[in-house]
Structure 1
Amino acid sequence: MSNTSKIAWDDTVLPFQLDQSDIRGRVARLDGVLDHVLAQHDYPPLIEALVAEMSLLTALIGQTIALRWKLSLQVRGNGPVRLIATDYYGPTDDGQPARIRAYASYDKDAIDLNGDGYDQIGNGYFAILIDQGKGTQPYQGITPIAGGSLSACAEAYFAQSEQLPTRFALTFGRSTIADEQESWRAGGVMLQHMPKASPLMAKKDAPDGSGEALVTASDLLEDDAAENWTRANVLLDTVEELELIGPSVSPTDLLLRLFHEEEPRVYEAQPVRFGCTCSEERVKQSLSIYSASDIGHMTTDEGLVEADCQFCGAHYEMDPKTVGFEAEGASD
């Protein structure tokens, strides 16, 4: 794909509502976020594309939740592509950006670099995890991998685990701007039928995804709601790739092009940035379950315990005496 200019909507998520259809949605545009995420690793192109798609989904989904701390998306499979993981951290204060980080794990020897990345995930599951911080019970929902893309997995998840009809239209890839280096760019629209309650935060009896038959959006709506949902999806089907990623069409103009008869109402846009929360303190916390003997097996010939952040590549070196539950100064 090729672009001609950079626009002010880059790295933002714009919430909207279709008042005539009882549908809410999000429009997302990412560029610098993806460059920062992918610059931390040396992924082959098909892995980069999967991480880009997952990051875009994370930005869209994360903005729909009243989040105090972290939303995580995970896809785990038994194929050469073993894991794709993303984290979305809600803004710490009003006006502050949300933060995204992501990484993938894959078998370098088994992966087909000329094949389709999604097909190489194999059988597994798609999961959404929400952690609102101290004093709260983490939420987790899981569904089997379904459909032909990560966005199809997300749609199946919301229908199966949350009973929320959801639709994604996404595009992503390397972008070129005149006289500038090639970079990643992604754009997408998320539609979701307005929930009667707040399933992501309150639902207690969500299926665990182990059933054979998957629920679809058509199973969840009837009468006028079903007609409104179908009409909005037909309108979204008309969107073009260049409209999704920009640069000449702003998200507000895109909504008017697609849904002007549905009376779209927009809210304040949310900026998104790359961000990692790793620190030496967090590494030590993760190692606090190990004994001095276990830590000894982790110690290098140089007498250090080393750890690397899978998300941002930060490298930590620690004195083995300072880590583990038998560390010097460790509390009871």
Structure 2
Amino acid sequence: MTLGSQIAWDDTVLPFQLDRSDIRGRVARLDGVLDKVLAQHAYPSQIEALVAEMTLLTALIGQTMKLRWKLSLQVRGDGPARLIATDYYAPRSEGEPARIRAYASFDEERLTEGAEAFSLIGKGYFAILIDQGQGTTPYQGITPIAGGSLAACAETYFAQSEQIPTRFQLSFGQNLMPGGAEGWRAGGVMLQVMPEASPFASGGGSGESGLLVPGDILEGDDEENWSRANILLDTAQDLELIGPTVQPTELLVRLFHEEGPRVFDPQPVAFGCSCSAERVRESLSIYSAKDIAYMTTDEGIVTADCQFCGAHYEFDPGTLGFEASKTP
């Protein structure tokens, strides 16, 4: 394993298909992306873990969608971890990376030292939003928080809202790099039954609170193939998932060589944000001059900060709102 091949797979998502089983999948490796996402805020370790898991899920799920613009994942709860939000932006053109950003809102005073990270969400919901851009109607699907991880929430979403059996095997954490520097690494595999192979289920499910699980959707050979692929995926080790010494292609051969794995072109991903001064102006265009005056600082400016990337914007209040008196 050379350094060059190691770097080649960092911050990529590799699509694959198991021809014997009618199952598709993705292998994701994140390092620089995750470092940049988490560097925007000094999150407590438990919140870092939730953001890392959500970012990895976003990379895997985003690459499965035929996106023209944006996929968003959101988790909202009544616990100390109030909100975890991520966005995946489709590549602007062929060969360019997809862009990912993430942000968490939390109540630091309510954090319990030593508590398991997922428990800090409490009761709430997991949502996937798809926005194909101007002239389209955004799609939103919501399921309750269920299971013991964000990955389990995503699996429940696909079973309940899309009726597509889905499985995630994830690993993430801080890695001691050569020279003593710490950096984040994350990796994971997503398995999903091909939609045409997944029959429609009706009625309640056998999962938590009556939610659907893959066993409620699949039957016959499809159920057997799904069970076999999951047993094989269970053998994946953390160091194989996150790398950097095991290439994704090697991992697929090790796990699924009897299932006929076939890989497609990898998709690079990068940290990126869509914020801009124009977008901030647009968001403030619904406010009156009185509202804008309330937002104006003692220095006579209106400020805005992007929670995702930390960008800072300053505006002349006279150029803002639907009663603006000046041209920007």
Q: Same fold (TM over 0.5)?
A: yes
- Report how far residue 329 of structure 1 moved: 5.6
Deviations 1:295-316 (A, max 9, x none): 1111111111111101011111
Q: Deviations over 1:195-241 (max 9, x none)?
A: 02999xxx9xxx9xxx9420001101000000000000000001100
Are residue 105 (structure 1) and residue 105 (structure 2) matched? yes
Aligned to 1:276: 273
Task: Indicate how the Cα distance of structure 1 residues 198 and 40 shifts in structure 2: closer, same or farther if over 3 A, else same.
Answer: farther
Alignment-mate amino acid for residue 193 of structure 2: H
- Counterpart position of 1:51: 51
Q: Distance in 1 between matches of 2:147 and 2:229?
A: 21
Question: By how many angstroms is 1:117 displaced?
Answer: 1.5
**Residue type at the aligned position of 2:319:** T
1:230 aligned onto 2:227: yes
Q: Deviations over 1:232-256 (max 9, x none)?
A: 0000001100110112210000000
Offset from partner CA, 1:28-62 (integer Å, 9 cap, x none): 00000001001111101111111000000000000
Residues 38, 48 of structure 1: 8 Å contact kept: yes
Secondary structure in 2 aligned to 1:286?
helix
- Bigger proportion of residues as helix: 2
> Does residue 127 in structure 1 map to residue 124 in structure 2?
no
| 1:71-82 map, 5 Å | 71-82=71-82
Q: Name the SS of the counterpart of 1:109 in structure 2.
A: helix
Unaligned runs of 5+ in 2: none
1:250 to 247, 250, 258: 247
Structure 1 unaligned spans of 5+? none
Q: Is 2:315 the partner of 1:293?
A: no
* Alignment match, 1:37: 37
Provide Cα deviations, 1:270-308, integer angstroms capped at 9, x if missing partner. 000000111111001001111111111111111111111
Hey, what's the Cα distance between the residues in 2 that align with 1:25 and 1:288? 43
1:18 correspondence with 2:13: no
Aligned with 1:294: secondary structure?
helix
Distance in 2 (CA, whole Å) between partners of 1:234 and 1:198 is 19
Aligned to 2:61: 61
Tell me how many residue pairs correspond in the alignment: 319
Matches of 2:115 and 2:172 in 1, distance apart?
18
Find the aligned partners of 2:252 and 2:234 in 1 and give their Cα distance: 13
1:107 Cα offset (Å): 0.3
Equivalent in the alignment of 1:162: 162
Q: Distance in 2 between matches of 1:178 and 1:326?
A: 56
Q: How does 1:162-201 map to 2 (within 5 A)?
A: 162-196=162-196
Give the aligned residue type for 1:73: L
What letter is aligned with 2:273? C
Could you tell me which amino acid in structure 2 is paired with residue 119 of structure 1? Answer: S
Cα distance in 1, alignment partners of residues 173 and 246 from structure 2 = 18
Task: Return the offset for 1:70.
Answer: 0.3
Whole-Å separation in 2 of the counterparts to 1:82 and 1:248: 36
Shift of 1:98: 0.2
TM-score when scaled to structure 1?
0.93
Distance 1:135 1:181 in 2: 46
What is the TM-score of this pair, normalised by structure 2? 0.94
What is the Cα-based RMSD across aligned positions, in Å? 2.0
Amino acid corresponding to residue 320 of structure 2 in structure 1: V
Partner of 1:154, secondary structure, is helix
In 1, the alpha carbon distance for the partners of 2:93 and 2:194 equals 26
SS at match of 1:196: helix
Which amino acid in structure 1 is aligned with residue 179 of structure 2? D
Displacement of 1:176 after TM fit? 1.1
Q: Name the structure 1 match of 2:116.
A: 116
Is contact 1:44–1:113 with CA below 8 Å preserved after alignment?
no
TM-superposed deviation, 1:180: 4.3
Q: Report whether the alignment pairs 1:94 with 2:91.
A: no
* Pair 1:310 & 2:299 matched: no
Larger mean Cα displacement after TM superposition, 165-174 or 290-299? 290-299
The answer on whether the counterparts of 2:129 and 2:141 sit within 8 Å (CA) in structure 1 is: yes
**Counterpart-to-counterpart distance in 2, 1:297 and 1:112:** 36
In 2: Cα distance, 1:113 partner to 1:68 partner: 42
In 1: Cα distance, 2:281 partner to 2:116 partner: 39
Cα deviation 1:59-86 (Å, max 9, x = unaligned):
0000001111000000000001000000
Q: Counterparts of 1:52 and 1:297 in 2: how far apart (Å)?
A: 37
Tell me the SS of whatever aligns to 2:51.
helix
